[in-house]
Amino acid sequence: MAENMRYLRNFFIYNCLFAFTFWNNIGLAMKNELFTSVPNNFLQDGLDKKNLSLPHSYTNNQQSKADFGWVVIENTTESLSLSEIKKDNVRKLITLLSNFRKGSRLQNLTLTNMSVDWKDFIKALQTVWHSSIEYFSINNLIQEGNVRSSRFDYSDTSMKALALNNVRITDLYFSQDDIYNIFANMNIEALTIADSELIHMVCPSSDSPFRYVNFSKNDLTDLLFQNCDKLIQLETFILNRNKFKSLSKVSFMTSRMKSLRYLDMSSNLLRNSGAEKRCQWTDSLSELDLSSNQLTESVFECLPVNINKLDLQNNQIASVPTGIAELQSLKELNLASNRLADLPGCRAFAGLEILNIERNLILTPSADFFESCPSVKELQAGQNPFKCSCELQDFLRLERQSGGKLSGWPEAYVCKYPEDLSGTQLKDFHLTELACNTTLLLVTALLLTLVLVAVVAFLCIYLDVLWYVRMLWQWTQAKRRAWHDCPEGRETVLQFHAFISYSERDSLWVKNELIPNLEKGEGCIQLCQHERNFIPGKSIVENIINCIEKSYKSIFVLSPNFVQSEWCHYELYFAHHKLFSENSNSLVLILLEPIPPYVIPARYHKLKAHMAKRTYLEWPRERSKRALFWANLRAAISINRSVPVEQNRTEL
């Protein structure tokens, strides 16, 4: 309740002040008329800067729409924004605007959703032209009725900028110049006609004061401002989202704009081919936006030489060709969303400081980029399909050495290939130096191979592997010949109690002691001796194998002479083979003389194993012990044989 009383009191005071001021200036009758058609704060502003203006709460949207048919969106001392301007209330609007002569504090006017005749539109525009308003904007304008040629008075204006957005003309038959001439010859600094299906604009009839022109989202073509030399003060020209096709014609359009610094040609249909005329850009152009067109690498043959900032993102550029004209002034280059497969060099861009090459087709960026581009302070190379392989290691080292020049690191740098590493950030991808350095890998492999060969060779020599291989080959060949000579199914028949293996240097003991004591007397033992039982014509190896296989036991007379004999080693090898192949206990060892361990060659490791694990008979030097020796030996080789000795000899 207290707030309502305070509001009514203020309202009454302001009305009294308003009535007093208005009566003193234009009379009571005029005061009553304007009071019913114009908001009080605008009346105050239009009459005298010193007079008080009413607060915003006094004129609300509902009251304004009820009184005038429009909606007040914003109402301040310096700005006014109205909506829903129609045929039936546009004259009231013109009456209202006629009160804001020069000296008024109102500077910004915005009209939204305006639907009027061409004649009323021109009259409203002319009224604003001669008012205190400096910035005039119309959004969503529908011109109804016929368009007629109109004279426009450009003199005595405070206007600096006019913006028309989303203009639709319903008249299908009218002279285009009736519209274009009015706007082209305006003596203001900034003109915007956007999203209005504008298909052309004439060149001003005299030197234009335009410094800013925005014709975005229209249907303009390459015919715009060709041979126009009146836009000598134009600095910013925005033509994005139109229908320009020829880059050379665009360059020719700018050739006479001596002050042009910024040109936006993004989102057009621009192409450039070698067949087109040579490009003629104005020397003043320093910033050019050619993004979202259909340009290829040939665009680098048609660029302003003094360009400072160049935007070529979202085109069809696959490479930056060498041999192009040098752009010494270029500081910032945007090549994002193209088809580049590697980082471009800076031979033609010696002063380049910022390069954006995101969203291209770069798998493994070259590592010498910063060496060829020493002036670059920021490189944006993220969101590329990086292939995490050895080739990428140099680029990763480049990042560590760049000192933070790689923008977006590490979030924007992610592996795409191979699939098992997809999604891995490059900072988490690591390979060893050995895996990526081919020379080092080859040297390492060679060294390892040499070491392996040396180790194998040493083992072969130490373990006498070649000898065992040769013996295995001999045994295999002997077996093959035996199988070939013998009928199938015939089994080997034991013909001897034992085969004797000894060194030729120990033959006297064998002939004088061993053979007589075993073959004579009770239970004589049939022995196989190489001198009398080897078959002439067969190889020594075949005879050894044949005797060992046809003997129940194999007696080895061990001595230092034995371990020095090659043939004794063969016989021991084949006997050992029989021991494991037939799973029989067929070896009988006689130690004729003690053998020092250092005398036994390395290849006799089987002999060492047998002497360590098996019981052997040692020839006693005392004669009293020899009877026991022969008894033990007979027991070791004893077997019941049913085949007569004579038959055995016959079979041999």
DSSP line for 46-105: HH-TTS----GGGS-HHHHHHHHSSEEEEE-SSEEEEEEE-TTTHHHHHHHHTT--TT-S
Comparison of pLDDT for 345 and 275, the residue scoring more: 345
Fold held by 499-636: Rossmann fold (3.40.50)
Residue percentage of the chain with pLDDT more than 90: 35
List, by residue range, all CATH 3.40.50.10140 domains of the chain: 499-636
Position 231 scores a pLDDT of 96
Express each pLDDT in 2-28 by its tens digit: 444 544 444 444 444 344 333 334 333
Residue 491 DSSP symbol: P
Find the distance separating the first CA and the last CA of the chain, reported in whole Å. Answer: 144
In sequence order, the β-bridge partners of residue 589 are 556
Rounded Cα distance, 196 and 53, in Å: 37
Residue 383 predicted with pLDDT over 60:
yes
Residue 271 predicted with pLDDT over 70:
yes
List, by residue range, all CATH 3.80.10.10 domains of the chain: 68-202
Residue 214 predicted with pLDDT over 90:
yes
Of the CATH numbers 3.40.47.10, 3.80.10.10, 3.30.1370.100, 3.20.20.70, which one belongs to the domain with range 68-202? 3.80.10.10
pTM: 0.64
Strands (DSSP E) contained in 537-638 are 551-558, 587-591, 617-618
* Bond preceding residue 344 cis, omega within 30 of 0: no
Rounded average pLDDT over 222-239: 95
Express each pLDDT in 295-353 by its tens digit: 999 999 899 999 999 999 999 999 988 878 788 899 999 999 999 999 888 888 888 99
Rounded Cα distance, 642 and 376, in Å: 104
User: CA 37, 38, 39: angle at the middle one, nearest 5?
Assistant: 130
Position 469 scores a pLDDT of 76
Position 18 scores a pLDDT of 42
Rounded average pLDDT over 167-196: 88
Q: Residue 634's pLDDT band (boundaries 50, 70, 90)?
A: confident
Q: Residue 38's pLDDT band (boundaries 50, 70, 90)?
A: very low
